[in-house]
Amino acid sequence: MTQSKSPIVSFVLATHNRASVVLQTLAHIADCGLDRTDYEVIVVDNASVDGTPDAAAIHTDVLIRLDRNAGSCAKAFGCERARGAYIVFLDDDSYPRPGSVGRMIEAFERHRSLGAAGFTAHLPDGGQECSALPGVFIGCGVGLRTEALRAVGGLDAGLFMQAEEYDLSFRLAMTGWTVQVYGDLKVEHLKTNQTRRSERTTYYDVRNNLLVLARYLPSPPRRIYEEDWLARYTILAERSGQTDACARGVRAGRRAWWQRFKYRRYRLDDDIFERFFTWRFVERRMIDLRADGVRTVVLADLGKNVYAFYRAAKQAGVEIVAIADDTFAAPSRRYRGVPILPVAAAIRLTPDAYVVSNTSYVHAGIRQADLANRVDQPVFNWFGSPPTSRCGEDHSAAIVDRGIAETPKVVSKEVISEEVVSKEVVSKEVSGRSSLLLTTEN
């Protein structure tokens, strides 16, 4: 299938031995709402042996056959052939709902600095998925301005899979492009939440998250998040019996330390760091709680960005009684000295308030709704659903119980330094092996 005129949109997806799945996805792309001459379909086949490339060929404009499996990041090879002004990344089992791509195009045309327009992903069980950090898109559904993508060097094919969204979001943001997730851009993703994590996924998750931290985060935040994320992935690997894969990921990630220097021009500055990790935003909210008389809180969820909440409570003078999380709770296990309890145990406590300590709006919303029905104290969720594409910049609402609170104003700029991350909070946490933060007391 060929086209003469340049398309507006290039759909790019990678696949491996999933003939029936990719055919279903390609059929749904035809229902995206655009005229067929306005888009092209590029499929990158990762050395399939089940007939996938031959089956997909009739439905694609460009078929790239690789002689090896390059993972989901094989989409990078498709981007090299893309002719559209905008590139849409899909997984081989995700597709846009009708009208979403048209709204994406309108958003790019209205906002000339928009580099990436993230879609919200909807799962077969009625749930959703999103990134752990606000402002980071997910790879199964994102529109990219082709000019912006190429200006920052494109998708890193060397990552294979996992954390490539962080990598690309950070590079785009640090070169002046806006990265925004929109609530009215939607993809259907046919995966399920119960899919078992493979050893390969664990390996690349650990390795690539360490690479992202080394490449982009300033110090001391890099050291803090490396400790947090390593402890997190170690526990998850132990639960799934994949400690060897985790250990290999750690070794590979640490061997690539030199990349910190290669990527130093993309090191997150103060404002971009705040955009993704929200330290000042959460601190401002915690200070407001203190001013309203809150002296003790339970943090709900040991989220990937829980440190933002821990730090904010310390700075605001609010005591964290416990962290409620069924996944990470264990007898005597603590996060930086704070006990991690099952949710059932945490709701028997009597704090002044519960604060949802998860910056993933999907998980934060689930936790907030659950707690609001189980406790009498107020439940604060500061990370609401993303804005629609007609609302411009990010104005995600903070949620208190089931009501919507006023969107906070932007806090003044500050320098991320040893002084900002107070010695009281950091000094014992970044000094060596004794600082491992998810500890189990004997």
pLDDT, mean of each 10-residue run, the chain (442 residues): 80 97 97 97 97 95 98 98 98 97 98 98 95 96 98 98 98 98 97 65 97 96 97 96 97 92 96 98 98 98 98 98 97 96 98 98 96 97 93 45 31 33 36 46 47
Residue 45 forms part of a structural domain: yes
- Tell me which of 229, 254, 272 is where a domain ends: 272
Residues 143 and 75 both lie in one domain = yes
- Tell me which of 189, 217, 234 is where a domain ends: 189
CA dihedral 141→144→146→151, nearest 10 degrees, is: -120
Q: What pLDDT sits at residue 5?
A: 82
Q: Which residue in this structure is represented by tokens 């993933």?
A: 360
Residue 422 forms part of a structural domain: no
Decide the pairing of beta strands 319-324 and 338-341.
parallel
Q: What pLDDT sits at residue 2?
A: 54
- Cβ–Cβ < 8 Å for 280, 272: no
* CA atoms of 312 and 222, how far apart (whole Å): 17
Vertex 89: Cα angle to 84 and 93 (nearest 5):
130
Residues 144 and 15 both lie in one domain = yes
Burial of 197 (0-12, 13-18, 19+ CB in 10 A): middle
Q: For CA atoms 383, 388, 389, 395, give the dihedral sign.
A: negative
Residue 347 forms part of a structural domain: yes
8-state DSSP, 265: G
3-state SS class at 345: helix
Residues 214 and 307 both lie in one domain = no
Q: What pLDDT sits at residue 390?
A: 82
Phi, then psi, of 124 in degrees rounded to 5:
-60, -30
Residues 317 and 388 both lie in one domain = yes
pTM here?
A: 0.89
- Tell me which of 251, 272, 293 is where a domain ends: 272
Phi-psi region of 135 (alpha: psi -120 to 50; beta: other; left: phi over 0): left
* Cα 22 to Cα 27, 121, 201, distances in angstroms: 9, 17, 21
| Residue ranges in 159-277 assigned as alpha helix (H) | 164-174, 199-216, 221-240, 243-255, 259-262, 270-277
* CA atoms of 82 and 402, how far apart (whole Å): 44
8-state DSSP, 59: T
CA-based nearest residue to 133, from 89, 167, 93: 167
- Cβ–Cβ < 8 Å for 56, 43: yes
Residue 28 forms part of a structural domain: yes
Residues 259 and 176 both lie in one domain = no
* Cα 392 to Cα 28, 87, 104, 109, 420, distances in angstroms: 28, 20, 12, 12, 31
Residue 417 forms part of a structural domain: no
Residue 346 forms part of a structural domain: yes
CA dihedral 205→236→232→282, nearest 10 degrees, is: 90
Residues 30 and 132 both lie in one domain = yes
8-state DSSP, 111: -
Helices 221-240 and 243-255, axial angle in degrees (round to 10): 160
Q: What is the CATH number of the domain that holds 116?
A: 3.90.550.10
Vertex 345: Cα angle to 339 and 347 (nearest 5):
105
Residues 318 and 387 both lie in one domain = yes
Residues 283 and 235 both lie in one domain = no
Residue 432 forms part of a structural domain: no
Residues 293 and 164 both lie in one domain = no
Residues 121 and 222 both lie in one domain = no
| Residue ranges in 243-393 assigned as alpha helix (H) | 243-255, 259-262, 270-277, 279-291, 306-316, 343-346, 361-372
Q: Which domain holds residue 227?
A: 199-272
Q: What is the CATH number of the domain that holds 374?
A: 3.40.50
Decide the pairing of beta strands 86-90 and 9-15.
parallel
Q: What pLDDT sits at residue 257?
A: 87
Report the Cα 347 to chain-centroid distance in Å. 28
* CA atoms of 41 and 26, how far apart (whole Å): 8
The count of domains in the chain is 3
Residues 402 and 301 both lie in one domain = yes
* CA atoms of 389 and 387, how far apart (whole Å): 7
Helix (H) or strand (E) holding 322: strand 319-324
Residues 153 and 295 both lie in one domain = no
Residue 345 forms part of a structural domain: yes
CA-based nearest residue to 321, from 390, 266, 240, 375: 375
